[in-house]
């Protein structure tokens, strides 16, 4: 039963990655693309790693995967926020483009 749950987590994580790739091609604005990439990075990776933790038999491998998920949950939102903030600060036409919409 745990194998089925682990495989289900991995498949759902892969689905999140596929949807985010579609979002990267669909969206034209940089911040929308960053949002799609950040969601895939945080949610998709976490689901795949949790699925691998469920499938894993060795406690040391499960602990390593947990540390990877923890590291990604801490660093991914911070890095995507900094990249988005840099885009806002360096894009001079952003205010004009937002007023026209």
* Confidence check: pLDDT of 16 > 70: yes
Does the pTM exceed 0.75? Answer: yes
- What value does the mean pLDDT take over residues 30-42? 84
pLDDT score for 7: 95
Closest CA to 73 of 41, 36, 31: 41
pLDDT score for 57: 75
Q: For every residue of 2-40, which 3-state class applies, written as one string?
A: HHHHHHHHHHHHHHHHHHHHHHHHHCCCHHHHHHHHHHH
Percent of the chain exceeding pLDDT 90 equals 21
- What value does the mean pLDDT take over residues 56-81? 87
Residue 96 phi, psi (nearest 5): -65, -40
- For residues 56 and 65, the answer to whether their CB atoms sit within 8 Å is yes
């Amino acid at each position: 039963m745990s194998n089925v749950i682990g495989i289900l987590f991995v498949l759902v994580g892969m689905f999140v990655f596929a949807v985010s790739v579609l979002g990267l091609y669909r969206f034209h604005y940089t911040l929308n693309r960053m949002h799609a990439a950040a969601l895939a990075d945080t949610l998709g990776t976490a689901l795949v790693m949790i699925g691998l933790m469920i499938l894993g038999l060795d406690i040391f491998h499960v602990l390593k995967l947990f540390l990877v998920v923890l590291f990604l949950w801490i660093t991914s939102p911070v890095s995507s926020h900094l990249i988005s903030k840099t885009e806002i600060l360096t894009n001079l036409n952003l205010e004009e483009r937002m007023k026209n919409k």
